[in-house]
Amino acid sequence: MTDDEVFEELRKLCCLSDPKEVYQMQQEVGKGASGSVFIALDKQTRQQVAIKVMNIDTQPSKESLINEIRVMKDFAHPNLVNFLDSFFIETAFKRQLWVVMEYMSGGPLTDIVIETVMKEHQISYVTRETLKALKFLHDKGVIHRDIKSDNVLMGLDGRVKVTDFGFCANVQGDEKRMTVCGTPYWMSPEIVTRKKYGKKVDIWSLGIMIIEMLDGEPPYMNETPFRAAYLIAANGRPQIKTTGLSAPLSDFLDRTLEVDVDKRAPCHELLNHEFIVKNNGEAKSVIPLVKVVQKIKKQKF
Question: Which residue from 111, 109, 122 is spatially nearest to 154, judged by alpha carbons?
Answer: 109
Among 42, 57, 146, 202, which one carries the catalytic annotation? 146
DSSP, res 177: B
DSSP, res 21: G
CA distance 199 to 126: 20
Query: What's the Cα-to-Cα distance from 215 to each of 13, 27, 64, 114, 149, rounded to whole Å?
Result: 41, 31, 32, 9, 13
Residue 4 exposed, middle or buried by CB count within 10 Å (0-12, 13-18, 19+)? exposed
CA distance 184 to 205: 10
Phi, psi of 123 (to 5 degrees): -60, -40
Question: Which residue from 95, 228, 68, 256 is spatially nearest to 163, judged by alpha carbons?
Answer: 68
Please, how many CA atoms are within 13 Å of residue 255, restricted to the half-sphere of its CB?
18
Q: What's the distance, Cα to Cα, between the start and end of the chain in Å? A: 43
Burial 120-157 (b: 16+ CB within 10 A, else e): bebbbbbbbbbbbbbbbbbeeebbbbbbbbbbbbbbee
Concerning whether 174 is annotated as a catalytic residue, the answer is no
CA distance 60 to 167: 12
* CA 215 from centroid of its chain's CA atoms: 19
146 within 8 A of 164, measured Cβ to Cβ: yes
Residues forming the active site: 146
